[in-house]
């Protein structure tokens, strides 16, 4: 199975989460923010795809959802998973297409564009984190460079 860093993910399990969870959050390896997908909708709220700050517990996330999407109540099925690969592999693996299908399946106009905007944001965050690691911002080196 193709992996970038040796960690295997159970793609069928992740696809099942995307297909069935009302709300799910995805964490990434290079930056702290989460991808939060809330597929629920009513007369006031449309499905949500957002990059959000991390929280310390599921209760805190439920509180956040209650503050930002009060008309929807508590989710019936909330899931969280860690994506140990690149954002690019999220697309290559087919997981991102499943997310788009789930969000756009609601029929709301603009859902596909919201997904693409979130993907661009994730790519930019990953790129920024990679550059910071290369340039040393917020990182400490183990070995100093020798002076020439």
CA distance 116 to 101: 12
Global pTM value = 0.86
Q: In this structure, is residue 58 part of a structural domain?
A: yes
CA distance 120 to 65: 23
CA distance 14 to 43: 29
Q: In this structure, is residue 118 part of a structural domain?
A: yes
Q: Are 103 and 114 in contact (CB under 8 A)?
A: yes
Domain interval for residue 86: 11-135
Give residue 89's region: left, alpha or beta (phi > 0; psi -120 to 50). alpha
| Each residue's pLDDT tens digit, 136-148 | 767 777 777 676 6
Q: In this structure, is residue 111 part of a structural domain?
A: yes
| Each residue's pLDDT tens digit, 10-51 | 899 999 999 999 999 999 999 999 999 999 999 888 999 999
| Each residue's pLDDT tens digit, 103-113 | 998 888 888 99
Q: How many domains does the chain have?
A: 1
| Each residue's pLDDT tens digit, 85-132 | 999 999 999 999 999 999 998 888 888 999 999 999 999 999 999 998
Q: In this structure, is residue 3 part of a structural domain?
A: no
What band does 76 get if pLDDT is binned at 50, 70 and 90? Answer: very high
């Amino acid at each position: 199975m193709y992996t970038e860093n040796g960690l295997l993910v159970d793609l069928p399990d992740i696809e099942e989460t995307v297909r069935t969870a009302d709300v799910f959050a995805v964490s990434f390896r290079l930056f702290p923010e989460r991808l939060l997908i809330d597929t629920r909708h009513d007369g006031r709220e449309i499905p949500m795809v957002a990059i959000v700050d991390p929280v310390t517990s599921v209760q805190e996330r439920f509180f956040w959802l209650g503050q930002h999407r009060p008309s929807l109540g508590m989710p019936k099925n909330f899931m969280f998973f860690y994506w140990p690969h690149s954002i690019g592999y999220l697309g290559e693996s087919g997981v991102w297409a499943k997310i788009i299908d789930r969000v756009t399946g609601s029929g709301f106009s603009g859902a596909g564009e919201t997904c693409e905007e979130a993907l661009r944001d994730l790519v930019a965050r990953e790129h920024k984190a990679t550059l910071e690691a290369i340039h040393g911002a917020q990182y400490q080196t183990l070995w100093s460079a020798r002076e020439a």
